[in-house]
Amino acid sequence: MCSILSRAWPALLALLAVVPLTGCASWDRPGVSPQQASTSELARSNEIDPAARERISHALGRDPDERALRDALKQQPNNIDAAIPLARALLARNCPKDALEVLDGVLLATPGDLRALNAKAVVLDHEGRHQEAQELYRQALAAEPANPMLRNNFKLSLALEGKREAGDPSPAPQADGRKASARSR
């Protein structure tokens, strides 16, 4: 009898281990599917709160370079070489408010920096806030009137608003996509 129990003992243990697991599955409801839903299906799901979906999308959309640029700005708030690429990346992700915050932070650390003024004005132009952008261009041009990048961006801003610079007989530059994207460089 002892030999029968010693041979049956492993089978009995296996049976006892399986019985509790069968209680988790139900015949009328399918268990966990071996197929996972794709990320795009989850993103379109109506069961996810739109605000949560936006936060998830925002978190997943971050580029590792963006984190490095943010870290660089935390260490040196006046680092314009980190601020401009970060603002450009934020603008490309359609986050102009974040881009403006980054540039405002740099302008607080280095008021009057021509590159920061230009970059902020470009973001404002992108948002259709041309008069605010033009004020920044004028401020920067007062410090460096011959700067070709500032002059071109100012003229482009005027053209986007449908105006021409007072006293400038030359036609305003074309606002095609190629030149508009080159402005922020």
pLDDT in tens, 43-91: 555 566 666 655 655 555 555 689 999 999 999 999 999 999 999 999 9
The answer to whether residue 5 is domain-embedded is: no
Residue ranges making up the domain that contains 167 = 61-182
Please tell me the total count of domains within the chain: 1
Question: CATH number, domain at 140?
Answer: 1.25.40.10
Q: What are phi and psi of 171, to 5 degrees?
A: -65, 155
DSSP string, 35-94: SPPPHHHHHH-TTS-HHHHHHHHHHHH--HHHHHHHHHHHH-TT-HHHHHHHHHHHHHTT
Give 14-32 pLDDT, tens digit per residue: 545 554 444 444 444 444 4
3-state secondary structure of 128: coil
What DSSP state is assigned to residue 28?
Answer: S
Query: Which residues contact residue 97 at a Cβ distance below 8 angstroms, ignoring those fewer than 6 apart?
Result: none
The answer to whether residue 6 is domain-embedded is: no
